[in-house]
Each structure stands twice: as structure tokens, then as C-alpha cells.
Structure 1
Amino acid sequence: MSRRPQQMNLIKLIHAGQNYMQICPKDKRLSTAFPEINIIRLTQYAIRFMPPLAIAIFVWQYYMHAKLVLCIITALFALSLPVQGLLWLGKRAKSALPLNLLDWFNQLRARLITDNIIINKPIEPTFSELMRLLDLTQKHIGDYLDIDHDHRHGEEGQ
């Protein structure tokens, strides 16, 4: 009975990782502050290239007379790399924001509420929600890295 909830948690983490990959802005400027930008890129490559590579490694090792167990273990390791990336991304997506990002999260959220892009409802400040706000800001307002500066200039002009 205890295995079932663990399996469901892994599946939920993988789905959360897939969703996180989709909502994360692909802006290279964010990669210095958010390692997930690079992890997403690497995970996407792993999803695309590891299955054929795992088969090639398996066949090569098998024909080089390696033990079948070693061939299987190597192939399984290669196939596990994209899953490991998705699990890491899923865990990151559900993680609470550290204090140094809360102010930026609140500024983005306030600007999106002020501009009637999102409604004012309570949300948990997680990395997933931050990336969702960054994505919405990029689509509707423009540059999210200078959001506080833009907002102050808008108030001064009124």
C-alpha cells in the first residue's frame, strides 16, 4: 500500500516538471539566476536524443560482447536522464520562493493586477507561479527585468 502514493507522487512530479518546462520563459538573461532555464534546455535534448542513444549504446555493447546485464544497466541509465530532469523540474516548480525573490514576485503580481491581466486572488509564491507571472509579463507588458522602474515612471507621468 505504501508504494502506490510514492508512485503517484513521482508521476505528479514528472507532470509538474513538464508543465514547468512549458511555462518557463526561454530568456537567456534569466539563466544566471535560475538554473532551470539550462536544465530545461538539457532535459529537452535528453528527451529527444537519449532513447536512440540508449539503443545504440545497448547494441554496440552487446556486439562488443559485454555482459547483457551491463548493456541493460547502461541503457536504463541513459533513459533515466530525461526523467531525472523532469523530476528535478517538478520539485523546483512546487518549491516555495526564497525571500530574495518574494519582492520581485509581488511587484510582478501587483503590476499584472493593476493592468487587469490577472485577477487579485491569493496564490502561493512558488517557482511555478513566478515563472507563470514572468511569462504573462513578457507577453503583455514586455521586459520583466525592469518592471519596478517602468511602474514608477508610469506613476510619475500621471
Structure 2
Amino acid sequence: MSRNPLVMNPIKLFKLGQKYMLICPTDKYLAKSFPEIKIISYIKLANYYMGPTLVFLFFWQYYLNANLILMIISAVFLISLPIQGYLWLGKRATSPLPINLLSWYNHVKQKLIDNDVISESKSKTEQLDFIHFMQLITLTKNHFGNYFGEDDNNQENFN
């Protein structure tokens, strides 16, 4: 059963986005290559400031006699920002890896297999999407630190 983000229901996409957010490592080294790391930081920032901003909007409407509809539109907009981020992350998690990342994926996976961190999978129908790629990068980071499976002579550049 393949997961197609266009057919997936929004609730499942939202939950997958939350799962993907927990899986993704938040490294500055990776943030240059993967936009989801910046999106994750924006979602966390929005969630942090959401409560105080909504309280401010409520008091603004109440004490300054602002238009109620303006406050409702602003509140709905603010609440929708992190939701849109989670939906985007869910869609990104199920997106197939582009060709330029396939060699990196295979190289990192081979390094993990060589070091007996994971076993070689026997099936050839392995899904190569971003959620599996980020799981592999997280596993690599947990076992090698900031070393992401690059050549051994370049290892000192990543520490």
C-alpha cells in the first residue's frame, strides 16, 4: 500500500506531519539543504507565541472596541499557520526522494550496514521517501554524532 499525499485524508496528513516533525533532526548543517527543518522551527515558534497572541487579540477586541470580525479572522489565521505547516510536513514526508539524494541515501545506508547498526534489507521494494530518509539521518546522527556518512577524510569537517 503506497501513501500518496494527494489522496491522503487531511487528518492522516496532519498526524504524519507531527510524526515527521519529531523524526527530523534540527541541525544547522542540514537546514541549508532541507526546508522542513526551517518549517519545523517556525511551527515551534508559532506554537510558543500562539496563546499570548490570542489573549492579546481578545483584549484588543474587548477594550479597544475593535471589530469582532477582525479579531475572529486574525485568530483563525494565526491558528491556521501551524496547521498548514503540519500539513506541508505530512506531504513532504510522503514525497519520493529526488534523484540527487538517492546516492547520499545509499551511501549513508551502506555506512550503517557496514558498522552493523542496521541489517541489509532483503526486499527491493523499499520506499525511498523523505520520512525514511530522515529516519536514516537521525539514526546516523545518533551513532556517528555529526558525521553524516561522508568520506572518512572529510569527517573532521563535520565535527
Which interval holds the TM-score relative to the shorter structure? 0.7 to 0.9
Give the aligned partner of residue 98 of structure 1. Answer: 98
In 2, distance between residues paired with 1:52 and 1:143?
Answer: 36
Shift of 1:12: 1.1
Which secondary structure state, in structure 1, belongs to the residue aligned with residue 151 of structure 2? Answer: helix
In 1, distance between residues paired with 2:112 and 2:58?
Answer: 51
Matches within 5 A, 1:7-156: 9-121=9-121, 122=123, 123-145=126-148, 147-150=149-152
Query: Is the contact made by 1:31 and 1:38 (CA closer than 8 Å) also made in structure 2?
Result: yes
1:66-124, Cα deviation, whole Å (9 max, x unpaired): 22222111111111111111111111111111111010011111221222212222431
In 2, distance between residues paired with 1:129 and 1:88?
Answer: 17
In 1, distance between residues paired with 2:38 and 2:150?
Answer: 26
In 2, distance between residues paired with 1:54 and 1:77?
Answer: 11
In 1, distance between residues paired with 2:132 and 2:147?
Answer: 14
CA-atom RMSD, angstroms?
Answer: 2.1
In 2, distance between residues paired with 1:141 and 1:84?
Answer: 33
> Quick one: which amino acid aligns to residue 43 of structure 2?
T
Normalized per residue, the structure richer in helix is 1
Report the identity percentage.
47
Aligned length: 145
Structure 1 unaligned residues grouped into runs of 5+? 1-5, 154-158
Q: Structure 2 length as normaliser, TM-score? A: 0.81
Q: Structure 1 length as normaliser, TM-score? A: 0.82
Structure 1: 4+ residue segments shifted above 6 A? none
